Amino acid sequence: MRGDPVTLGRSGIALAALVGGLTLLGGPSPAHAAEERAFCTAYEKNLGGGAPQKAETQTAPVPETVAPFAIMRIAEAQKVSKQGQGIRVAVVDSGFGRAAQDYHGTVAAGLISQIAPKATLSDHPVLKVGQEKSTVDAKRMVAELNSLAKGNANGLIVNIGLPAAQGASGLDTAVDTLIKKGAIVVMAADWSGVTTDTNSLDVASQVFPNANDSVVTVSASGTWASDPDFTVLPNSKTDVAAPTYGASSTALFGQKCWVDTISTSFASAEVAAVLALIWSTNRGWSAEQVIDRLYSTTSGREGQGGRFWGAGVVNAYDALTRPAVEEAATPPKVEPAPMAREKVDPLAAVRENAIWWGIAGGGALGLGLVLRPLFSRRKSSM
């Protein structure tokens, strides 16, 4: 099982983050570039027979300044965060630790622990591991999610690193319940078991669970120009992206290893850990506020986004330090000014009466002048 092997043409972006040093608090030695490690895929399966032979090791596959943790500014973010303290991350994957049969969940858990070393991890295996092919057990996923929903969901981040290729009864309802109870659900945008259709333009309908738009759907991005050729399947519900190739983690049998795939599954683990950094530092925030902060501080750029990148590549340091954009204040409602009171004129009645008396008097005078000749004739004729 290898991250995202479907070939759709190279869709990577070359990001350079000029960050000096990669100091991971609570993790292994910061001098990752000087360490000798095997690739994580050197120990892919544990189907019995004890520990495998020691694999060939090498120094970091990418320069430290453009490694995934440097691009996401993890070392800087850890210095200004509580490093996941008080946050629980449920790893819904292939299982992690020495009892796991597949390397996938162990690498994912290792990435989370490197980024958010004080977060508490819980194991929720959902992968049926086979000699030739492994498949996600959707019914088992429903049971694991329902179990998580029975407890307190505040401060809970559920990382579904292996989405199912087929839905199961109650799967979307289980996710809805977790989100309504205040949890954050993160999911990989695809994985190698999702589809064999290389001409698919959108795998959103083939990745389960897929009915809730509040799920943080994560795709994978590249680290630099010499990454191996890679593609990720386009998913119209993609929200953010994260680089994975060259990140340091832990292999299936406990060895230190380098991630040598560009994998949405490992990207979702990284994003879940970054969310743990944000939430642990802002415990009064709701799940929606934490997610909005993640989205609004990505290293996005015009023309980048949509089915491959969403809002852009996660930037953990900016998510913790960038000043919040204040919404424009709503202008206060202004009560209309009262109409001016008409001044009271104490002589108004007198004036009005005088006018009417003047009219009446004038009329009487006019009538008298008209009738005067008539009365004058009558007197003369007598």
Question: Running along the chain, 382 residues long, what does each successive block of 10 average in pLDDT?
Answer: 36 30 35 78 84 86 92 96 98 90 95 98 94 90 96 95 93 97 96 62 90 94 74 88 94 91 95 98 97 91 61 95 66 56 58 65 63 55 50
Domain range annotation of the chain: 32-321, 354-382
pLDDT of residue 98: 76
Strands 248-250 and 256-258: antiparallel
Can you tell me the distance from the alpha carbon of 102 to that of 250, in angstroms, rounded to the nearest whole number? 13
Name the DSSP letter for residue 209. S
Q: What is the CATH number of domain 32-321?
A: 3.40.50.200
Q: Give SS3 for 79.
A: helix
Tens of pLDDT, residue by residue over 310-364, are 899 999 999 999 987 655 455 556 555 555 555 555 656 656 666 666 666 666 6
Contact partners, residue 250, CB within 8 Å, separation at least 6: 106, 107, 109, 110, 113, 256, 257
Can you tell me the distance from the alpha carbon of 98 to that of 268, in angstroms, rounded to the nearest whole number? 22
**Six-digit token string for 61:** 């596959």
pLDDT of residue 164: 93
pLDDT of residue 102: 93
Pick from 247, 227, 231, 241: nearest CA to 300: 241
CB of 131 closer than 8 Å to CB of 249: no
Can you tell me the distance from the alpha carbon of 10 to that of 88, in angstroms, rounded to the nearest whole number? 35
DSSP of 302-325, one letter per residue?
A: TT--BTTTBT-B--HHHHHHSPPP
Can you tell me the distance from the alpha carbon of 362 to that of 79, in angstroms, rounded to the nearest whole number? 100
pLDDT of residue 309: 77
pLDDT of residue 342: 55
pLDDT of residue 4: 40
